[in-house]
Amino acid sequence: MSFRYEIRLSGAGGQGLILVGKILAEAAAIYDEKNATQSQSYGPEARGGASRSEVIISDDDIDYPKATNIDLLLAMTQEAVEKYSSDVKENGIVIVDSSYVKKAPEGNFKVYSFPITNIAEDEIGKKIVANIIALGVIVKLSNIISENAVINAIRARVPKGTEETNIKAFKHGIGLVSTQ
């Protein structure tokens, strides 16, 4: 059976989750030679300011590019937790940003809670890199994309001049998991 891994990135508009999705998909496909799709749905939620992006990574063609059985959920707001944690599969992974999520989800999945946005502000000095810290946490916990592939994709995708700050944020995210 072919390998398929489903990631949903959820939170508010402006948190940079679509960029995280693009970096994950490009890292997997361009630098790690897997197949990947990245998609956004826009509808009533987007009109309310919510943001959702999905990434599917596979070693085979991806015929159905919608996440239905989520391996890993990133939830950057309480609303995202309430709405999406029930879609996570048994023994899946939920990562929450405890800067915004005050009530962690309960279910048959593993929950990892870090004050991601606060860490971005206090330890990197830039709240805007919270998404890239979250990317580090995702890459470490999912363990399906090489860290070097992600670093290459970060360099290719973030605004010129911000590469080193973003790579620092990414490594900080990796470290959050390693030192648990």
Of the pair 33, 90, the CB lying nearest a copy of itself is at 33
If one asks whether residue 22 binds a copy of itself (CB under 8 A), the answer comes out as yes
How many chain residues touch a copy of itself (CB under 8 A)?
Answer: 25
Of the pair 41, 110, the CB lying nearest a copy of itself is at 41
- Nearest CA to 81 among 57, 125, 113, 54? 113
Q: Which helix (H) or strand (E) holds 55?
A: strand 50-58
Position among 9, 17, 23, 25 found at the interface with a copy of itself (CB under 8 A): 25
Which of 90-96's residues contact partners 24+ apart within 8 Å by CB, and which partners? 93/141, 93/142, 95/134, 95/137, 95/138, 95/141
3-state secondary structure of 141: helix
> Interaction with a copy of itself in 73-132: which residues (CB under 8 A)?
none
- Nearest CA to 94 among 67, 117, 112? 112
If one asks whether residue 29 binds a copy of itself (CB under 8 A), the answer comes out as yes
CB of 3 to a copy of itself, least distance (A): 14
CB of 106 to a copy of itself, least distance (A): 28
If one asks whether residue 66 binds a copy of itself (CB under 8 A), the answer comes out as yes
Of the pair 41, 69, the CB lying nearest a copy of itself is at 41
Alpha-carbon span 93 to 140, nearest angstrom: 12
If one asks whether residue 63 binds a copy of itself (CB under 8 A), the answer comes out as yes
If one asks whether residue 39 binds a copy of itself (CB under 8 A), the answer comes out as yes
Instruction: Give the full edge-to-edge strand order of the sheet including 4-12.
Output: 50-58, 4-12, 70-75, 88-97, 110-114
If one asks whether residue 62 binds a copy of itself (CB under 8 A), the answer comes out as yes
Q: Which residues bind a copy of itself (CB under 8 A)?
A: 18, 22, 25-26, 28-30, 33, 35-43, 46-47, 61-66
